[in-house]
């Protein structure tokens, strides 16, 4: 069996799940309506395996717990049990009013919140945090349904 060295790169991933509502305002079918999904978000990171003898993360790229903590802070805490709407949506002012007067968890974003756009958006949010841990993000994969995914990688 080959022993891991500082030269070895490894791709690892972690998944979390959130519940979030959205709408696709220009959609010609039912997705223009307000609805929600049980999203699964998978983040893949690739880097060298830590080989420092006695290090808490020896043999790992990053501790899965640290990766999960970052995902929970940047995605779950902000988007779980929320409604996400584009700032270009005709209904955005109504949702801002609801957010502001009823203290509802409503996120206004600068894009239509499709799985594709969310995957790219979350990629860049997570990239900032992972850089601080000297870890290279490889991809973000978003399941909008159990059979429909979008993957963003730079």
For position 96, which CATH number holds?
3.30.479.10
Give the distance, in angstroms, between the CA of residue 113 and the centroid of all CA atoms in the same chain.
12
Query: 94-131 b/e with 16+ CB inside 10 Å = b?
Result: ebeeebeeeeeebebbeebbbbbbbbbbbbebbbebbe
pLDDT tens sequence across 37-85: 999 999 999 998 888 888 887 888 889 999 999 999 999 999 999 999 9
Beta bridge partners of 151: 141
Closest by Cα among 5, 84, 91 to 39: 84
pLDDT tens sequence across 96-120: 999 999 999 999 999 999 999 999 9
Q: What residue numbers bound the domain in which 131 lies?
A: 9-152
Could you give the number of structural domains in the chain?
1
Say how far apart CA 21 and CA 25 lie, in whole Å: 13
Tell whether 61 is covered by a domain.
Answer: yes
């Amino acid at each position: 069996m080959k022993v891991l060295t500082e030269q070895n790169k490894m791709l690892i991933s972690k998944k979390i799940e959130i519940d979030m509502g959205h709408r696709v305002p220009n959609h010609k079918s039912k997705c223009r309506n307000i609805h929600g999904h049980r999203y699964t978000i998978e983040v893949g990171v690739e880097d060298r395996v830590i080989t420092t003898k006695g290090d808490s993360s020896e043999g790992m790229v990053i501790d899965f717990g640290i990766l999960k903590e970052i995902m929970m802070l940047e995605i779950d805490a902000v988007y779980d049990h929320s409604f996400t709407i584009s700032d270009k949506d005709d209904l955005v002012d109504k949702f801002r009013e609801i957010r502001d007067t009823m203290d509802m968890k409503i996120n206004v974003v600068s894009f239509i919140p499709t799985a594709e756009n969310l995957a790219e958006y979350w990629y860049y949010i997570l990239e900032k945090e992972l850089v601080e841990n000297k870890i290279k993000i490889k991809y973000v994969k978003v399941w909008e349904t159990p059979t429909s995914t979008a993957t963003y990688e730079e």
